[in-house]
Amino acid sequence: MMTKLAPSPFLSIRGLRKSYGSLEALRGINLDLAPGEFLCLFGPNGAGKSTLLKIIATLLRPSSGKIRILDDDLENNPQEYRARLGMVSHQSFVYQDLTLLENLEFYAALYGVKDPRQRSLELLEQVNLADHYEMLAGNLSRGMQQRLTIARALLNDPELLLLDEPYTGLDEHAARVLRGQLQWLHDQQRTIIMVTHNLRRGMEAATRMGILVRGKLVYLQQKENIDPASFEELYFQKLEAV
Amino acid sequence: MSSLRQILFLLGKDLRIELRKKESLISMAFFGALILVILNIAAGIGKQVDADTGAGILWVAIIFSAVLGLGRVFAREKENGCVAALLISPISPGEIFIAKALVNFSLMLLSQLVLVPVFYVLFGSHFNADPLALVPILLLLNLGFSTTGTLVSAISAGTRRNEVLLPILLFPLILPLTALAVKATAGALATRPFSERLEQLEPMLAFCLIFSAAGYLLFPFAIRED
């Protein structure tokens, strides 16, 4: 009888640990993510959410453990690995003294995008900033800056998108626009990891949800197996248990 | 994508911002010129200084003004977390180091285009009339200062008292290079033979090569958070 092989994970994390002296920020994270999954990780401040994202983004070195995107190993092939990533943080990653178009063109050129100007204009159109392309990024509102950040993160057409508290500082309207863009990205089959402590925002978007407490992944479940009404209660139970 | 192209994109971006804002250039040139004027008053306006003193005065102005630009180049990357965006892009930390050192080198060179003529106006009526004699000394010091300074500014940019820490860490490191530059400059101002100046230029070159290599190798550790 033929056995059906499970598809190989897009992102694989094994035994990931990070310590700062005696403080253990991550304590043995194991995680597999299928292509096109949208994982939302919840956790209180200091749970290790941003540390995990920074390690996946290669901004921090893990104390031990392995991360792979398909065949690219973070340690052995960091440049190839990074070329497949995009990141949106609560920091905008844009230069205040460059225009919107100059910002995107610069990053597109760094990523070796074929026609940086054309790609930048396309993305500005997508995030509804095309009319402001000559404006200095420093003159944008917080919501507009966040849209520019999303455009920047998509320049290299990333297969894995990392979102670190992307709703921070956004008003309701800007948050709604961002929500729409995340849905669009998910529809485009991008694999997404978002970390947040905003349960409502996270639950809106994700297909899988996890809870990280004191550096440990204490809960991980597909969204269809979760009762949204009782998730908040479950979240606080997990926090108190640890 | 070639490393050279990525270095040029980063260099081009920094120079574009600098030429648009002129923050570093104006402050460097103005501060350096101010030092020269104050030292001119202290030495006695119109009084001739000897070549050794003149060389010291020129380098005090250049070195102190250069520190202003050095701090700014990394401060700009820290705003809005842009340094993180560079680190998660395919550009390597070594390429970032080369691009930033080139930015610092360019800013120093541009400010010297103001400071050297001001020095000649205030002090130089009796010195070697050929300022080109200073070119190899300026280029070598700029190279050593910008590579060492790029490494040190990456270290200090991650601290709260960046502006205090930068000169404290940097000046002891570049002291040998500066001392050699002062001596070589004194020789140039006094129109001593080039062969005599080679005694300083050769160790200056060695210093530059060692510090450039050390900066390139250590920069990835200086720029990362962990």
**Domain assignments of chain B as residue spans, ordered by start:** 3-223
Mean local confidence (pLDDT), B170-198: 91
* Residue of chain A whose Cα is closest to the Cα of B21: A97
pTM to 2 decimal places = 0.88
Residues of B in contact with A95 (CB under 8 A): 13, 17, 76, 79-80, 82
E strand or H helix that includes residue B112:
helix B93-123
**Looking at the predicted structure, is the pLDDT value of residue B122 above 70?**
yes
Give the minimum alpha-carbon distance from A4 to chain B in angstroms, rounded to a whole number: 37
Q: B40 φ, ψ to 5°? A: -65, -40
Sheet holding A23-33, edge to edge: A23-33, A11-20, A64-69, A72-73
Domain ranges in chain A are 11-84+159-241, 94-156
Q: How many CB atoms lie within 10 A of CB B92?
A: 18
What dotted CATH number matches A11-84+159-241?
3.40.50.300
The mean of the pLDDT values for chain B is 90
Q: Which of A85, A96, A110 sits opposite B91 (nearest CB)?
A: A110
Dist CA A92 CA A31 (whole Å): 28
Give the pLDDT score at B45: 85
- Three-state DSSP class for B9? helix
Q: How far is CA A142 from the centre of its chain?
A: 19
Q: Compare B128 and A112 and report the one with higher pLDDT.
A: A112
- The CA angle A125-A128-A129, to the nearest 5 degrees, is 80
For residue A36, give the nearest of A163, A161, A147, A153 by alpha carbon: A161
CB-based contact A93 B84, cutoff 8 Å = yes
CB-based contact B89 A87, cutoff 8 Å = no
Question: A242 Cβ partners below 8 Å, 6+ apart?
Answer: A213, A214, A216, A218
Mean local confidence (pLDDT), B27-55: 92
Beta-strand ranges (E) seen in chain A are 11-20, 23-33, 38-42, 64-69, 72-73, 85-88, 160-164, 191-196, 208-213, 216-222
> Which residues on chain A place their C-beta less than 8 Å from a C-beta of chain B?
54, 57-61, 79-80, 82-83, 85, 87, 89, 91-98, 102, 106-107, 109-112, 152
Which region among A2-16, B96-110, B111-125, B149-163 has the lowest average model confidence (pLDDT)?
A2-16
Q: Which of B21, B76, B88 sits opposite A58 (nearest CB)?
A: B88
Dist CA A83 CA B91 (whole Å): 9
Q: Among the residues of A58-207, which ranges form H helices?
A: 78-82, 100-110, 116-126, 142-153, 172-187, 199-205
**Looking at the predicted structure, is the pLDDT value of residue B157 above 90?**
no
Q: What is the C-alpha R_g of chain B?
A: 18
For residue A215, give the DSSP letter: T
For residue A64, give the nearest of A23, A26, A110, A10 by alpha carbon: A26
* Residue of chain B whose Cα is closest to the Cα of A85: B88
- The pLDDT averaged over each successive group of 10 residues in chain A (242 residues) is 61 92 92 92 91 91 87 73 87 93 95 93 91 94 87 90 86 80 86 90 89 93 88 87 78
Give the pLDDT score at A76: 73
**Pair of tokens at residue B100:** 């930033």
Question: B115 Cβ partners below 8 Å, 6+ apart?
Answer: B29, B32, B33, B36, B58, B61, B62, B65
For residue B188, give the nearest of B149, B122, B139 by alpha carbon: B139
For residue A106, give the nearest of B100, B154, B5 by alpha carbon: B5
What length is written for chain B?
Answer: 226
- Three-state DSSP class for B25? helix
What length is written for chain A?
Answer: 242
> A227: exposed, middle or buried (C-beta count within 10 Å: 0-12, 13-18, 19+)?
exposed
For residue A63, give the DSSP letter: S
Residues of A in contact with B87 (CB under 8 A): 58-59
Q: What is the ipTM of this complex?
A: 0.85
Mean local confidence (pLDDT), B74-82: 85
CB-based contact A110 B80, cutoff 8 Å = no
Mean local confidence (pLDDT), B56-85: 89
Q: Which residues pair with A210 in a beta bridge?
A: A41, A220
How does residue B129 score in pLDDT terms, banded at 50, 70 and 90? low
Question: A215 Cβ partners below 8 Å, 6+ apart?
Answer: A18, A24, A25, A26, A27, A29, A47, A48, A51
Question: B45 Cβ partners below 8 Å, 6+ apart?
Answer: none
Dist CA A192 CA A206 (whole Å): 9
Q: Which of A85, A102, A112 sits opposite B1 (nearest CB)?
A: A112
> Count of CB contacts below 8 A, A vs B?
76
Mean local confidence (pLDDT), B17-24: 88
For residue A101, give the nearest of A141, A132, A140 by alpha carbon: A132
Question: B139 Cβ partners below 8 Å, 6+ apart?
Answer: none
Contact call for residues A215 and A25 (beta carbons, < 8 A): yes
For residue B37, give the nearest of B114, B107, B131 by alpha carbon: B114
Give the pLDDT score at B1: 58
Give the pLDDT score at A1: 46
**Pair of tokens at residue A89:** 């943080």
Mean local confidence (pLDDT), B203-210: 95
Dist CA A227 CA A206 (whole Å): 13
